[in-house]
Amino acid sequence: MRLLTTAILLTAALALAACNNPRSGTSDTDSWGSAGNGIGSTALGDPNDPNSIAYFNQTVGDRVHFTVDQSGLSPEGMATLRQQAVWLNQNPHFAILIEGHADERGTREYNVALGARRANSVQEYLVQQGIGASRIRTVSYGKERPVEACAAQRCWDLNRRAVTVVSR
């Protein structure tokens, strides 16, 4: 009984983690809403399995953050990306989509371009770390998909990010 409760909690935690990243997908549904993009959904797996997507998202770290209007990587961001590169080199059958995001304190079009610039700086860094460019695609969501929406610095800091979404 106790084991079952733990399992339920773990599942709930995974679901919550997935909520931060609606496009990584926990179900069989293709959240892209289109068959033409070649990206399907993938089971997250056991977070204790170092080759699972859940492990990548939670332990390796799937995201880096940026300062206002900037796309340069922080030392912490580079450390995270180096760990991502190690994982990706150990799991060569996974492809990645890098999502660039912006906070809400800018206009819509500029933020799409800024998110593209952020995704690109992550891509360039991962390529430098030996990840094949053919495994990487980038997309920008601008300010359209905040992690958390609030009119405060805390949310803006969370939302200026690039998220590495792993899929098979």
Partner 1 sequence: MTALTTKHPFALIVALTALFLSAVSALAQSNSPLRIEITEGVIEPVPYAIPDFVPENTAGQQYAASIARVVASNLSGTGLLREIPASAHVGRVSSFDSPVQFSDWRAINAQALITGAVAVNGQSITVKFRLFDVVSGQQLGDGLQLDGRTDNWRRMAHRVSDAVYTRLTGESGYFDSRVVFIAESGSRENRRKQVAIMDQDGENVQFITDGAALAFAPRFSPTGDRILFTSYETGFPRITLMDVATRSRQMIGDQPGTMTFAPRFSPDGQSVVYSLSVGGSTNLFLLNLASGQRYQLTDTGAIDTAPSFSPNGQSVVFESDREGTSQLYIMDISTGDTRRISHGQGRYSTPVWSPRGDLIAFTKSSSGRFHIGVMRTDGSNERLLTSSYLDEGPTWAPNGRVIMFTREQAGGDAGLYSVDITGRNLRRVPTPGAASDPSWSPLLP
Judged by the rule CB under 8 A, the positions of this chain that interact with partner 1 are 22, 32-34, 36-37, 39, 69, 71, 104-110, 112-114, 116-117, 119-121, 124, 137, 139-141, 144-151
Least Å distance between CB 143 and partner 1? 10
Decide whether 10 or 94 has the Cβ nearer to partner 1: 94
Point out which residues pair with 140 in neighbouring strands.
100
Decide whether 25 or 60 has the Cβ nearer to partner 1: 25
56-77 burial code (b ≥16 CB/10 A, e <16): bbeebbbbbbbeeeebebeeeb
Q: Which residues contact residue 95 at a Cβ distance below 8 angstroms, ignoring those fewer than 6 apart?
A: 39, 135, 136, 137, 166, 167, 168
Least Å distance between CB 123 and partner 1? 8
Decide whether 49 or 124 has the Cβ nearer to partner 1: 124
Q: What is the distance in angstroms between the CA of the first residue and the CA of the last residue of the chain?
A: 34
Decide whether 70 or 90 has the Cβ nearer to partner 1: 70
The amino acid occupying position 59 is T
Residue from 19, 25, 67 nearest 44 by CA: 25
Least Å distance between CB 1 and partner 1? 35
Least Å distance between CB 165 and partner 1? 11
